[in-house]
């Protein structure tokens, strides 16, 4: 047996189902730790650092933005330099250090103050947790799939991968629920010292379990550098800005291309969209630009058609991706939801009270419950009415999700309007500014349910859209785009809160987002977000029409399956068959 065969056999012995508990537990514990810190963080900043509601909210939005941006960096670093295993391991350690520093702020009173050094210490802990989370979230799903991709027959491997992703997302959802319930309860009942110590301990357990199982993993080295590839296309097209385009009859032989490409529709001729970039793969002189083995002499002067099409696919998808930003803005109002819940009656019974920081769990529960209902009840019912199997097109699902999220802000505004009026009437009646409204906090659940259903529609459709429209070589970037959209949304959220706070408090006025929500107008703030969300639905419709049909939005005649897209929804509602 050759050395190469022995090495391949050794690699095949690694990986498999035995690695799943370590990888899934690593992701789950990280989520419990990081998500468990978010719900009550606004209270920690207000009580211990003396921040106002608006100031604390902006800090949390910026922290969330950094956490959601770092998976993109993590994906690029893993694919280009470190590989997935090292990126996850280093990310786990860095995240643990950040949580330890945050725990120290609760343990040492001298670290809790609004002076620059104390705030710098706090923000440094946030930064470490964001960097660590980026490494874990960018690579964990793909690293788990690596352990099951062991060159077995396709059907067996597909079943294994499907089982893995099912367990992966079940564990991730369960982790979020635990963080919104158990961790929040510990913080409420036992204080910040223990409340921050538990996430740090879980993160230590997460990192330890993952690293201890190092010898069991299949570890693929870094391969593709997409960032460098995109840069090469841009530089090469600029260097050949005055090069003529080949004539259509002879164009194929004048473009540089790979013989086996990972693009969905392999082609030797680049598409006409963003035509200027085609100059990057135009061959001016075979002798000067192409070596004997068919590779480019200088990749910064001559790129392949596949490289050009990869960049084009990213450029083409950006408008559709941007429509998800406003949805994330609408669903990231947890700090205001917490403050509302604090001012309402949270009792289910006389002895059972839901913590204010746990109301976001209804959003998560709605997502988990809605998906099987949609897949196992609604779609079969619609198929029965139409007499044929049917499913909603991916873009239509994205649009429905955006509409539900905008509608949730309308409902949130109505509930807050009623709550505030009741609170103001109570204050005037008893002549006590600290009087609390008697309205039940259960009225906050409908907006959470609408947000959960909206996210279930849009996020699943969004991820499916990226995976189907991107080349196979860009799959890791596809998963990172979702987190990038949330990062931009957090920045936009911070900007909106800042502008609303500044504009509405001018000339001695009361800010809509003031710390005392009975004096402010969160209802008007919610309705502002609802208006922006509804405008975003119209923007999505324009982007969807401009994008055209998706790569896989076709009727599967062999299976008699109907794919309903946004142009056909009116006929669906009218019980008309779509051919």
| Torsion angle of C-alpha atoms 194, 197, 201, 206, degrees rounded to 10 | 120
pLDDT in tens, the chain (579 residues): 445 455 455 545 677 778 888 888 887 888 888 888 888 898 899 989 989 888 888 898 889 888 888 988 888 888 778 888 899 999 999 999 999 999 999 999 999 888 889 999 999 999 999 999 888 887 777 787 777 765 444 444 544 554 565 466 667 777 888 887 888 889 988 999 999 999 999 999 889 989 988 888 888 777 667 788 889 999 999 988 887 777 655 554 577 776 544 443 444 577 777 788 888 888 887 777 878 777 788 888 888 888 888 888 888 889 999 999 999 898 888 888 888 888 888 888 888 888 887 788 888 888 878 877 877 787 788 778 877 776 777 888 899 999 999 999 999 999 999 998 888 777 666 555 454 557 888 999 999 999 988 988 888 778 778 767 777 666 667 667 878 888 888 788 888 988 998 898 888 788 898 878 888 889 999 999 999 999 999 999 999 998 888 765 543 433 444 555 544 444 434 443 333
Which distant-in-sequence residues (6+ apart) come within 8 Å of 220 by Cβ? 83, 84, 146
528 — phi, psi (to 5°)?
-60, -45
Residues in the chain: 579
Query: 474, 76 in Cβ contact below 8 A?
Result: no
Closest CA to 311 of 192, 381, 228: 228
385 — phi, psi (to 5°)?
-65, -40
DSSP, res 506 = G
Reading the block at residue 532, the tokens are 């922006």
Give the chain's domains with CATH numbers.
13-223 (1.20.1250.20), 226-258+267-303 (no CATH), 322-572 (1.20.1250.20)
| Torsion angle of C-alpha atoms 357, 363, 367, 368, degrees rounded to 10 | 40
Whole-number Å distance between alpha carbons of 88 and 133:
9
Closest CA to 20 of 158, 171, 134, 152: 171
For the range 462-468, what are the long-range contacts, defined as Cβ-Cβ under 8 Å and sequence gap of 24 or more?
A: 462/321, 462/324, 462/398, 464/394, 465/317, 465/320, 465/394, 465/395, 465/398, 465/550, 466/317, 466/321, 468/394, 468/550, 468/551, 468/552
Whole-number Å distance between alpha carbons of 534 and 405:
9
């Amino acid at each position: 047996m050759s050395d190469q065969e022995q090495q391949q056999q050794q690699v095949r012995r690694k990986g498999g189902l035995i690695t799943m508990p370590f990888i899934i537990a690593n992701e789950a514990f990280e989520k419990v730790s990081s998500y468990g810190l978010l719900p009550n963080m606004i209270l920690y900043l207000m009580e211990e650092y003396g921040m106002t509601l608006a100031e604390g909210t902006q800090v949390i939005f910026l922290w969330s933005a950094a956490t959601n941006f770092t998976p993109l960096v993590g994906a690029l670093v893993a694919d280009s330099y470190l590989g997935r295993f090292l990126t996850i391991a280093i990310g786990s350690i860095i995240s643990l250090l950040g949580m330890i520093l945050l725990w120290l702020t609760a343990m040492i009173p001298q670290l809790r103050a609004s002076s620059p050094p104390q705030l710098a210490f706090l923000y440094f802990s946030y930064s470490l947790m964001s960097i660590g989370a980026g490494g874990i979230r960018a690579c964990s799903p793909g690293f788990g799939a690596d352990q099951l991709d062991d060159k077995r027959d396709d059907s067996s491997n597909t079943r294994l991968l499907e089982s893995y992703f099912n367990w992966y997302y079940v564990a991730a959802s369960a982790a979020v629920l635990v963080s919104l319930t158990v961790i929040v309860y510990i913080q409420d009942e036992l204080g910040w010292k223990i409340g921050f110590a538990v996430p740090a301990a879980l993160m230590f357990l997460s990192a330890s379990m993952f690293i201890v199982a190092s010898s069991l993993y299949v570890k693929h080295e870094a391969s593709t550098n997409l960032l460098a590839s995109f840069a090469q296309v841009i530089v090469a097209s600029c260097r050949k800005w005055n090069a003529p385009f080949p004539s259509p009859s002879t164009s194929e032989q004048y473009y540089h291309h790979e013989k086996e490409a990972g693009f969905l529709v392999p082609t030797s001729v680049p598409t006409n969209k963003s035509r200027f970039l085609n100059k990057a793969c135009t061959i001016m002189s075979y002798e000067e630009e192409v070596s004997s083995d068919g590779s480019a002499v200088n990749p910064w002067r001559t790129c392949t058609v596949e490289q050009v099409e990869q960049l084009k696919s990213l450029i083409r998808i950006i408008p559709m991706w941007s429509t998800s930003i406003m949805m994330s803005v609408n669903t990231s109002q947890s700090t205001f939801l917490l403050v509302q819940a604090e001012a309402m009656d949270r009792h289910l019974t006389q002895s059972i009270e839901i913590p204010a920081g746990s109301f976001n769990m209804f959003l998560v529960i709605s997502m988990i419950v809605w998906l099987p209902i949609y897949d196992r009840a609604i779609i079969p019912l619609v198929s029965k009415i139409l007499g044929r199997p049917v499913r909603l097109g991916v873009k239509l699902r994205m649009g429905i999700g955006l509409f539900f999220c905008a509608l949730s802000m309308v409902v949130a505004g109505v509930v807050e309007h009623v709550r505030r009026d009741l609170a103001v009437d109570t204050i005037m009646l008893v002549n006590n500014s600290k009087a609390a409204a008697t309205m039940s906090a259960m009225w906050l659940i409908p907006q959470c349910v609408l947000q959960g259903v909206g996210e279930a529609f849009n996020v699943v459709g969004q991820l499916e859209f990226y995976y189907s429209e991107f080349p196979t070589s860009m799959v890791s970037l596809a998963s990172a785009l979702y987190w990038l959209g949330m990062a931009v949304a957090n920045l936009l959220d911070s900007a909106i809160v800042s502008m609303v706070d500044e504009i509405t408090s001018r000339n001695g006025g009361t800010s809509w987002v003031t710390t005392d929500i009975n004096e402010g107008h969160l209802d008007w703030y919610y309705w502002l977000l609802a208006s922006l969300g509804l405008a975003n639905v119209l923007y999505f419709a324009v982007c969807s029409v401009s994008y055209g049909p998706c790569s896989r939005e076709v009727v599967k005649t062999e299976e008699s399956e109907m794919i309903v897209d946004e142009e056909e929804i009116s006929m669906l509602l009218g019980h008309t068959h779509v051919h």
